[in-house]
Amino acid sequence: MIRGLRGATTVNSNSEEEILTATEELFAKLIEVNQIEPDSVASVFVSTTEDIDAVFPAKVLRKFPGWTYVPVMCMREMPVPNSLKLCVRVMMHVNTSVPQEEIIHVYLNGAEVLRPDLNNSPAL
């Protein structure tokens, strides 16, 4: 069965280094806590708020061994008034037998406010 794994992080500025560093941290934690193998991943969507455009954050996923052929796409979040700024969100579609309620969603660096009801992130 395919399950969706969610995650998000924020950055302090629209700089390539900061975006890639924060996104790498987010992917690393999602992969680690959910024990994800690249061959089990159907696709990954990465969205950013409109104030992030210095780099495609998904490009950092290519640093991870075995992730070369995983389909990844970046897109823009809807600009909803008063929404969280400078935010990178991830939706990873993974083939897994893990029950939905045992999936660990990861929210970092202030993005916890997006889904406090789902933020079952382990302590960092």
- The per-residue pLDDT for range 3-34, each reduced to its tens digit, is 999 999 999 999 999 999 999 999 999 999 99
Of 18, 24, 74, 112, the active-site residue reads 74
Return phi, psi of residue 18, to 5°: -65, -40
69 is catalytic: no
Of 37, 62, 76, 102, the active-site residue reads 62
CB 48 within 8 A of CB 77: yes
Structure tokens at 28: 């690393």
Instruction: Enter the pTM of the model.
Output: 0.91
Of 18, 24, 77, 112, the active-site residue reads 77
Superfamily name and number for 2-114:
RutC-like (3.30.1330.40)
62 is catalytic: yes
Mean pLDDT throughout 59-73? Answer: 94
Q: How many CB atoms neighbour CB 73 within 10 A?
A: 12
74 is catalytic: yes
Mean pLDDT throughout 112-123? Answer: 69
pLDDT at 123 over 50: no
Residue closest to 58 by CA, chosen among 90, 87, 31: 90
